[in-house]
Structure 1
Amino acid sequence: MAKKVRLGIIGTSNWAELLYLSTLRDCPDAELVALCGRNVDRLSDLAERFGIPGRHTDYRDLLARGDLDAVAVVVPDDLHKEVTLAAVDHGLHVLCEKPLANTATDAREMLDAATRAGVRHMVMFTWRWQPHFQYVKSLIADGALGRLYRTQIAFITNFAHDGLYQWRLDPMRANGVLGDLGSHMFDLSRWLCGDEIVSVSSDLGTAVSRTHIAGHDTGRSNNDFAHVVFRYASGCQGVVDVTNVSHDGDRIVQHVLRIEGETASLELDHVLFGAGENLRMRIFKSGGATVEVTVPAELYGAASSDALGIYSSQPVGVRGFASSLRNGTEPAPSFDDGWRAQILVDAALLSNAERRWVDVGYHPSVRPSGTTWNEG
Structure 2
Amino acid sequence: MEKKIKVLVFGSGFAGQGHADAFRAFDVDVVGIVGRTANVVSKVADKMGIPYSGTDWLQALEDCQPDIVSIATPGGAHFEPIKQAIEFGCHVFSDKPLTDSGNSALELYELAKNKKVKTAFASSFRYMPHIQHAKQLIADGAIGEPTEVECISHFNLERDIPFGWSHRKEEGGGRLNNNFTHMMSIVTSVIGEKILSIIGEVRDDMGKAPIVEGVHNFKTRRDFIPKDLNDPALKWGQSNVEWSYTVLAQLESAMAFKPVSVLFKHGGLTPRFNEDHIVFYGTKGAIYIKGHYGMGPLYIWDKNNTWKTLALPNDIVANQPKIVGDTERNWHYLVREFVKDIKGETAEPYQTFKEGSLYQKLIDLIRKNNNWTDVSHLQ
TM-score (norm 1): 0.82
In structure 2, the residue matched to 1:361 is none
Structure 1 residues 38 and 225 mapped into 2: Cα distance closer, same or farther (>3 Å)? same
Q: Secondary structure at the match of 2:63?
A: coil
Distance in 1 between residues matched to 2:158 and 2:334, nearest whole Å: 26
Alignment of 1:240-255 (within 5 A): 240-247=264-271
Distance in 1 between residues matched to 2:326 and 2:169, nearest whole Å: 33
Residue of 247, 256, 273 corresponding to 1:228: 247
Distance in 2 between residues matched to 1:123 and 1:52, nearest whole Å: 24
Residue of 367, 371, 376 corresponding to 1:349: 367
In structure 1, the residue matched to 2:228 is none
Post-superposition Cα deviations, 1:48-81, rounded to whole Å, max 9, x if no partner, equal: 1211111121111112225311100111111212
In structure 2, the residue matched to 1:265 is 286
Q: Which stretch of structure 1 is more off in the superposition, 207-216 or 195-204? A: 207-216
Distance in 1 between residues matched to 2:169 and 2:356, nearest whole Å: 20
Alignment of 1:109-188 (within 5 A): 109-174=107-172, 176-188=174-186
In structure 2, the residue matched to 1:292 is 309
Post-superposition Cα deviations, 1:279-332, rounded to whole Å, max 9, x if no partner, equal: 321001355133211112332338699773694599513343233323455762
Distance in 1 between residues matched to 2:11 and 2:193, nearest whole Å: 34
Structure 1 residues 182 and 297 mapped into 2: Cα distance closer, same or farther (>3 Å)? same
Q: Which stretch of structure 1 is more off in the superposition, 240-249 or 134-143? A: 240-249
In structure 2, the residue matched to 1:359 is none
Structure 1 residues 21 and 227 mapped into 2: Cα distance closer, same or farther (>3 Å)? same
Distance in 1 between residues matched to 2:114 and 2:207, nearest whole Å: 43
| CA RMSD, Structure 1 to Structure 2 (Å) | 3.1
Question: Are the equivalent residues in 1 in contact too, given 2:152–2:278 (CA < 8 A)?
Answer: yes
Q: Secondary structure at the match of 2:325?
A: helix
Q: What's the offset of the Cα at 1:270?
A: 2.8
Distance in 2 between residues matched to 1:154 and 1:59, nearest whole Å: 39
Structure 1 residues 127 and 310 mapped into 2: Cα distance closer, same or farther (>3 Å)? closer
Q: What's the offset of the Cα at 1:132?
A: 1.1
In structure 1, the residue matched to 2:318 is 301
Distance in 2 between residues matched to 1:278 and 1:347, nearest whole Å: 29
Question: Are the equivalent residues in 1 in contact too, given 2:128–2:326 (CA < 8 A)?
Answer: no
TM-score (norm 2): 0.81
Post-superposition Cα deviations, 1:117-141, rounded to whole Å, max 9, x if no partner, equal: 1111110112011111111111122
Distance in 2 between residues matched to 1:44 and 1:190, nearest whole Å: 40
Question: Are the equivalent residues in 1 in contact too, given 2:163–2:236 (CA < 8 A)?
Answer: no
Amino acid paired to 2:350: A
Alignment of 1:29-178 (within 5 A): 29-65=27-63, 67-174=65-172, 176-178=174-176
Post-superposition Cα deviations, 1:74-129, rounded to whole Å, max 9, x if no partner, equal: 11111212111110000000001111122222221111101111111110112011
Unaligned 5+ segments in structure 1 are 357-376
Distance in 1 between residues matched to 2:302 and 2:237, nearest whole Å: 51
Structure 1 residues 313 and 196 mapped into 2: Cα distance closer, same or farther (>3 Å)? closer
Question: Are the equivalent residues in 1 in contact too, given 2:6–2:67 (CA < 8 A)?
Answer: yes
Q: Secondary structure at the match of 1:279?
A: coil
Structure 1 residues 3 and 147 mapped into 2: Cα distance closer, same or farther (>3 Å)? same
Structure 1 residues 20 and 347 mapped into 2: Cα distance closer, same or farther (>3 Å)? same
Question: Are the equivalent residues in 1 in contact too, given 2:61–2:85 (CA < 8 A)?
Answer: yes
Question: Are the equivalent residues in 1 in contact too, given 2:163–2:237 (CA < 8 A)?
Answer: no
Amino acid paired to 1:316: Y
Distance in 2 between residues matched to 1:49 and 1:213, nearest whole Å: 28
